[in-house]
């Protein structure tokens, strides 16, 4: 019996994922096939066009991954990789998977570092998770000094793996409320993608609800408990005129602006993401 074509295998996987309600079934099927074959997605698409076949061994490797994706396990957990800006980050159970919308939030911090007059501007990423934002700052602003803080031991382990080798990045395990006191008054930018889901809110996506760590999701009754601590801590970390950047839910912009204004921050401003949803709020240290 001839080996089945890559096209047939990918089509069958995509149909199975579609029946399970996976949002982009063909994309995920191609990416899973690419992972099994050791190729990039574009190379899989080329293989489909050429009529290449897939070995039984590769199909056997693919089938359990498709089954796990049918169970809505995040694609990034299955491949072990999450793209973020120019980076490929290692991710898995115990760490929040970085999202595409956070790439635009990180740009505010990167721009602040690039425009800072300091020879070695300091950036601080609180609640760093996988280390995505911190590593983007460290690699895109090579003359900066970046500090990243993560409370969760599991997430810290992933961040340590991702940031190893970044000489201008220091990773700390601890509570954002009291870590890095030696930096008080020196940072050019403080950025955070904190837990901001209200405790009684149920995330719509099974990938989030079932697999993202609760510590990275839930932020108290109104979702802003960590943001309140972040506001106080960032006031100490930043130098006058330094920038605070907070990622948040699409309905939280007004509350966060009011919270920051009450803490005496200057010019609290909410920014939309590429889908025109409120995504981040910035403010200046007085």
* Residue 1 reports pLDDT greater than 80: no
- pLDDT tens for 209-253 read 989 999 999 999 999 999 999 999 999 999 999 999 999 999 999
Do residues 122 and 188 make contact, with C-beta atoms less than 8 angstroms apart? yes
Domain count for the chain, please give it.
2
Give the gyration radius of the chain's Cα atoms.
21
Domain that holds residue 121: 92-284
CA–CA distance from 202 to each of 14, 119, 121, 218, 255 (Å)? 27, 45, 39, 10, 20
pTM: 0.92
- Among the candidates 71, 105, 127, a domain finishes at 71
Kindly state the helix (H) or strand (E) to which residue 173 belongs, with its residue range.
strand 169-173
Q: Evaluate whether residue 84 is within a structural domain.
A: no
From the list 160, 195, 189, the residue with the least C-alpha distance to 175 is 195
Same domain (yes/no): 163, 259: yes
Same domain (yes/no): 245, 277: yes
Query: What pLDDT is recorded for position 176?
Result: 94
Rounded mean pLDDT, 259-272:
98
Same domain (yes/no): 148, 262: yes
CATH of the domain at 190: 3.40.50.150
Same domain (yes/no): 46, 169: no
CA separation for the pair 213, 94 (Å, rounded): 6
- pLDDT tens for 8-50 read 999 999 999 999 999 999 999 999 999 999 999 999 999 999 9
């Amino acid at each position: 019996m001839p080996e089945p074509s890559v096209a047939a295998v990918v089509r069958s996987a995509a149909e199975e994922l579609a029946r399970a309600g996976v949002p982009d079934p063909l994309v995920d099927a191609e990416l899973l096939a690419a992972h099994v074959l050791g190729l990039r997605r574009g190379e899989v698409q080329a293989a489909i066009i050429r009529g290449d076949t897939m070995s039984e061994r590769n199909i056997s490797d693919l089938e359990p991954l498709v089954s796990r994706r049918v169970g809505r396990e995040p694609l990034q957990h299955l491949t072990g990789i999450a793209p973020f800006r120019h980076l490929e980050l290692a991710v898995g159970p115990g760490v929040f998977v970085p999202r595409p919308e956070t790439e635009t939030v990180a740009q505010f911090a990167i721009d602040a570092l690039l425009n800072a007059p300091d020879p070695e501007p300091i950036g601080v990423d609180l609640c760093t998770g996988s280390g995505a934002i911190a590593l983007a700052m460290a690699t895109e602003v090579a003359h900066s000094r970046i500090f990243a803080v993560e409370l969760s031991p599991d997430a810290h382990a992933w961040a340590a793996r991702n940031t190893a080798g970044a000489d201008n990045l220091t990773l700390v395990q601890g509570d954002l409320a009291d870590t890095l006191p030696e930096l008080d008054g020196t940072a050019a930018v403080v950025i955070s993608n904190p837990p901001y889901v209200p405790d009684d809110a149920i995330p719509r996506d099974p990938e989030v609800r079932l697999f993202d760590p609760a510590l990275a999701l839930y932020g108290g009754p109104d979702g802003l408990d960590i943001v309140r601590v972040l506001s106080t801590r960032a006031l100490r970390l930043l130098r006058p005129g330094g920038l605070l950047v907070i990622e948040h839910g699409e309905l939280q912009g007004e509350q966060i602006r009011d919270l920051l204004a009450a803490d005496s921050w200057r010019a609290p401003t909410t920014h939309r993401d590429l889908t025109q949803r409120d995504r981040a709020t910035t403010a200046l240290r007085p």
